[in-house]
Amino acid sequence: MNHLTIHEIETIRQIKGETDKKNLDNISRTDAYFTFFKQNPEIIWSFLASMVSRNGGWNMCDLEGNIFREILEPNTRKDLFLTFERANWLIFHDVYPQLMLYQYSTKINRPMFHLLPYFKCSEFIQKEWVKYWKEGNRERLTTALIINEQNVIHEPVIQHPVYKKQVFHSWIFNFQDWLHFSCVLFPTCGGELYGASVNGFRSLSKRINLGKRLVKILTHPRLFPFFVDFAEKTPHTGSRNDYEKYFKTKTNRKSPILRATYPIIEHNHYEYEDWSKSRLVSPVWLHLSARHRHTTHLTDWYFEKSNQLELLLALHKTTHIKKI
């Protein structure tokens, strides 16, 4: 940290402390993203991150709900939970200092992005923040943040030998992928659901494309106020009940809440490598706009999938198949 002023050293220390504090679990991350967005509404990525993080929460809690507890062995459920948790922790660890530095820059009206290397952010995203500060292209910044976060988790999570073998090549993961259970949903207080599903989660380009499609849905001029209203009025617990309590048709599924289900995970820090030094940024990632091949209104789809899950459980019970 040579050539830094005492003030800059203190800023780095404060941001690191704040990031660790907010990176405790899925609930604290979701809330931190949304709080930041309310203070900086021009950074739409932060609202996207908070809504995607809500989905991550109920994906985790579903593993301990009545269906997956019956179908999956405790070890399988644990592996799946740790995969979600690790990916979310890594993204927050990387991006929250970027958001904090941006907020600080706006307060003092001077860019402070020269401090980003001290948080081991990729060279790619460092350049994108500088570009945004000069040009103010919000759409470009949102896309750049999506590209960066998906690259950040690609090697340490998606390509990690343990996760790869036990999770991404497991029967249950491929089954989820095939049935599109892995879906990101944006709810409204009127009981409607919008969103898009992921198939081919292992593909970096497909995950980036999904992020771009999700932004398009989230910022739709007619729907955007409803999504913000939901986020404002609905404390995030990790339970599907956060969404389902607004449905006109009541569901009787028991969905646990996150903090009553999982302990705080101590993450070990990893050998950091700048992904942008070894991987080229595809022009398609940055410039091609995302198209929706399927409907984005998913209320009916959600009920259909829920019924399929119930059916899966019934089949499992009647055939006495061994847990996976």
What's residue 291's pLDDT?
77
Q: What's the full length of the chain, in residues?
A: 324
- DSSP characters for 141-160? HHHHHHHHHHHHHIIIIIT-
Task: Collect all residues with Cβ–Cβ distance below 8 Å to 313 and sequence separation of at least 6.
Answer: 66, 67, 70, 71
Task: Collect all residues with Cβ–Cβ distance below 8 Å to 231 and sequence separation of at least 6.
Answer: 34, 47, 50, 51
Task: Collect all residues with Cβ–Cβ distance below 8 Å to 124 and sequence separation of at least 6.
Answer: 144, 147, 148, 151, 275, 276, 281
Q: At what angle do helices 74-108 and 6-22 cross, to 10 degrees?
A: 150
What's residue 211's pLDDT?
95
What's residue 160's pLDDT?
76
What is the token pair recorded at 10? 């203190």
3-class secondary structure, 187: strand
Domain ranges of the chain: 6-248+255-319
Q: What is the DSSP letter of 3?
A: T
Q: What is the pTM of this model?
A: 0.93
Residue in this structure with the two tokens 């569901």, named with its chain if needed: 251
What's residue 173's pLDDT?
63
Residue 302, Cβ neighbours under 10 Å: how many?
20
- DSSP characters for 292-319? -SS-SB-HHHHHHHHHHHHHHHHHHHHH
What is the token pair recorded at 277? 């030094």
What's residue 2's pLDDT?
64
Each residue of 259-308: pLDDT tens digit?
999 999 999 877 788 999 999 999 999 987 777 777 899 998 888 888 77
Q: Which residues pair with 183 in a beta bridge?
A: 197
Cα distance between residue 10 and residue 12, in whole Å: 5
C-alpha 128: how far from chain center: 20
Q: How many Cα atoms occupy the beta-carbon half-sphere of 116 within 13 Å?
A: 23
Task: Collect all residues with Cβ–Cβ distance below 8 Å to 101 and sequence separation of at least 6.
Answer: 15, 112, 113, 115, 116, 119, 129
State which residues of the chain have pLDDT below 50. Answer: 178-179
Cα distance between residue 148 and residue 211, in whole Å: 11
